[in-house]
């Protein structure tokens, strides 16, 4: 089996390069190898590799910067998935693509299910929704995994930012009125490998799926969990979990508005593919063990 993996230097791509290696011949690329804003470059890459499976975690993920770089965000997040899909259909290949909770506006009081109405609050979410739509419209066999709050031992993320700030500051103020589930890059890589291994079954169940760690929290309690782990591991910190103060979103304005409810119901994914999604605390603890050094 030939596998084309994009975004190899990203949080999820880094883990995928490991999990996919045992399943076939992996060609892993990043922006230096193929600019996903360049349709001709994508076409040349797919023609060269002729993959059986395309795994696309690559994205323009700078949520706030997307507000002023709309064209680039839509090129990478919106059009590229459809281009991959068009070539995949010609080859009879499966596309596994990653999307986001930001396709929703966050106003629903309960976890979102896949058929719920979308309503992105900003350019990033709108561009990711466009990517879902362009891939589906291509007619290729595809699995779109919507996920949230991704965290990995490799790359930049919220947990690493909190650890850095806890070393530098005596106290931290963190938003407490946005809810979701931290989801580890390792978990996403593991479930993707399962889908690739069972690609014929995955192709038979083309569609959108929610895939996040089980449970829920808010950003403030998430920060307390991370800092508390580091404290117990012997990391020298200026601020412990008791110095992490909850604040409303209104006290921390950002160029792009975030959904207050990022909770995603994973029942469809679990029942379709027969997989368990462990609690976020368990997966995050494993990732923090790799990330935190005294």
Domain boundaries, the chain: 2-157+180-216+261-280
Q: Which helix (H) or strand (E) holds 162?
A: helix 158-168
- pLDDT at residue 185, rounded to an integer: 98
CA angle 157, 210, 106 (to 5 degrees): 70
- Looking at the DSSP bridge assignments, the partners of residue 172 are 244
Q: In the predicted model, what is the mean pLDDT of residues 119-125?
A: 98
Which option is the CATH number for 2-157+180-216+261-280: 3.40.50.720, 3.40.190.10, 3.30.300.20, 3.40.50.300?
3.40.50.720
Categorize the per-residue pLDDT at 246 as very low, low, confident or very high, splitting at 50, 70 and 90: very high
Exposed (0-12), middle (13-18) or buried (19+): which is 81, by Cβ within 10 Å? buried
pTM of the full predicted structure?
0.96
* CB count in 10 Å sphere of residue 232: 10
Q: Decide if pLDDT at 294 tops 90.
A: no
Taking the C-alpha atoms of residue 244 and residue 223, their distance in angstroms, rounded to an integer, is: 7
The active-site residue, picked from 124, 209, 222, 252, is 124
| Residue 209 annotated among the catalytic residues of the structure | no
Q: Decide if pLDDT at 148 tops 90.
A: yes
- pLDDT at residue 65, rounded to an integer: 96
Average pLDDT, the chain: 97
- Looking at the DSSP bridge assignments, the partners of residue 53 are 3, 94
- pLDDT at residue 181, rounded to an integer: 98
Distances (CA, A) of 131 to 11, 79, 227: 19, 6, 35
DSSP state of 278: -
Taking the C-alpha atoms of residue 148 and residue 273, their distance in angstroms, rounded to an integer, is: 19
């Amino acid at each position: 089996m030939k596998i084309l993996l994009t975004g190899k230097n990203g949080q999820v791509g880094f883990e995928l390069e490991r999990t996919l290696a045992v399943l076939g011949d992996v060609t892993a690329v990043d922006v230096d190898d193929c600019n996903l804003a360049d349709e001709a470059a994508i076409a040349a890459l797919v023609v060269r590799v002729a993959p059986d499976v395309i795994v696309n975690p690559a994205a323009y993920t700078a949520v706030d910067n997307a507000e002023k770089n709309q064209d680039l965000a839509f090129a990478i997040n919106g059009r590229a998935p459809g281009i991959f899909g068009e070539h995949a259909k010609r080859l009879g290949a499966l596309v596994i693509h990653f999307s986001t909770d930001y396709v929703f506006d966050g106003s629903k009081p309960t976890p979102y299910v896949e058929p719920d109405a979308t309503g992105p609050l900003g350019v990033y979410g709108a561009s990711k929704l466009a990517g879902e739509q362009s891939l589906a419209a291509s007619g290729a066999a595809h699995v779109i995994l919507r996920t949230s709050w991704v965290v990995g031992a490799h790359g930049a993320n919220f947990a690493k930012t909190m650890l850095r700030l806890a070393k530098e500051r005596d106290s931290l103020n963190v938003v407490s009125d946005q809810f979701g589930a931290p989801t580890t890059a390792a978990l996403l890589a593991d479930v993707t490998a399962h889908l690739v291994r069972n690609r014929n079954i995955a192709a038979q169940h083309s569609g959108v799926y929610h895939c996040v760690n089980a449970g829920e929290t808010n950003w403030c309690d998430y920060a307390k969990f991370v800092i508390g782990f580091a404290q117990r591991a012997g990391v020298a910190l200026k601020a412990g979990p008791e110095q992490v103060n909850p604040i409303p979103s209104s006290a921390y304005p950002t160029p792009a508005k975030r959904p207050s409810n990022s909770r995603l119901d994973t029942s469809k994914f679990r029942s379709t593919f027969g997989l368990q999604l462990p609690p976020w605390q368990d997966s995050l603890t494993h990732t923090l063990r790799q990330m935190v050094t005294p």
